[in-house]
Structure 1
């Protein structure tokens, strides 16, 4: 175990992270309020979030979350530049993909019954930024995100999962933990502090 910690320590000095990708479903709003509320105003690394929601939903998610953080939150538009100190949310009914330096939106078929799909975001981030990605899975009631987290891990990125006993729905965290040798399993406030440690 101590060997693994050393490895991560070594890796951390060498890698400047390009993006944090977060996936959540049922119970995600409450979880994101806590996680984002625990991040400092100078958190540099861009954060991209897929929260499963109804395809008719409007931008209230952005407004609700903005009350908990001073980092600007925006719903992604196609070809948006990926900027430091910003939080990006996948719009309802679009897949969110990472491309070098910017985002893309897609109306391809749902993945794991979801559009936006966590897997699509995570896999595209892993393809573009490899070991410079941190993938985070929070509460949720399906298995979306499991394959994406696996790909982030395979490309050398870091993986964090919400402690299932603290999740409103433990299905998504449990699925991720069963499929991936995740780096950390943490409570929401500890996920935030771990992100700060890794990115600053």
Structure 2
């Protein structure tokens, strides 16, 4: 488990979960990350399953990173953001491949941040870094707890300043979150943790 003052951050993946208000929050975070961000990112944003999504296109236009809808079987790549498509759970597999699932909704949602975070915890253990942003409900809290149990790191948007406090509040109440930050500070914290220049 990361100790205080840890100098080396050997993270291999960043996973982000968001819901209501999440598009704006994702634009703020992903738009502030550098083009040479050294690890892959996976994102669950709750979307209306009845419509084709242009979320990846919207985010891609505002970010230096490559942002795309996740596809089953593709490999994670550093500096690429893989976004869960509507109505599909996004899972990370051993060996760094992705899978999509239509198993039952979790807490009424599909994709589920909980399932993504749980798969990241299973595969990456202490090298997992997950972040919970604005949203209603409590998706992400259980998965973040698994990440912590495996020695990974959890960052949350500050519930008091989030557009919707539900998801950040659920994770901060149920998990020993490593960092609770206003939205504008999250990108810098992710960069610092991944590059080992920020300690916990």
Paired residue for 1:7, among 3, 6, 23?
A: 3
- Mapping for residues 109-120 of structure 1, pairs under 5 Å: 109-120=104-115
Q: Which consecutive segments of 4 or more residues in structure 1 shift more than 4 A?
A: none
- Mapping for residues 14-53 of structure 1, pairs under 5 Å: 15-53=9-47
**Could you tell me the TM-score, scaled by structure 1's length?**
0.93
- Mapping for residues 96-115 of structure 1, pairs under 5 Å: 96-100=90-94, 101-115=96-110
CA distance in 2, matches of 1:70, 1:77: 21
CA distance in 2, matches of 1:37, 1:77: 22
| Unmatched runs of 5 consecutive residues or more in structure 2 | 196-200
Residue 198 of structure 2 aligns with which residue? Answer: none
Residue 178 of structure 1 aligns with which residue? Answer: 173
Paired residue for 1:126, among 121, 128, 131?
A: 121
| Unmatched runs of 5 consecutive residues or more in structure 1 | none
Q: CA RMSD in A?
A: 1.4
CA distance in 1, matches of 2:39, 2:140: 21
CA distance in 2, matches of 1:89, 1:71: 12
Instruction: Work out which structure has the larger RCO, using CA pairs closer than 8 Å and 6 or more positions apart in sequence.
Output: 2
**Could you tell me the TM-score, scaled by structure 2's length?**
0.93
Q: Is the 8 A contact 1:119 1:146 kept in 2?
A: yes
Paired residue for 1:91, among 72, 85, 92?
A: 85
Residue 155 of structure 2 aligns with which residue? Answer: 160
Give CA-to-partner distance per residue, 1:102-158, whole Å, 9 cap, x none.
111111000010100000000000001100000100000010101000000110000
SS at match of 1:159: strand
Q: Is the 8 A contact 2:42 2:81 kept in 1?
A: yes
Paired residue for 1:75, among 69, 75, 78?
A: 69
Tell me how many residue pairs correspond in the alignment. 194
Higher helix share: 1
Q: CA deviation at 1:7?
A: 1.9
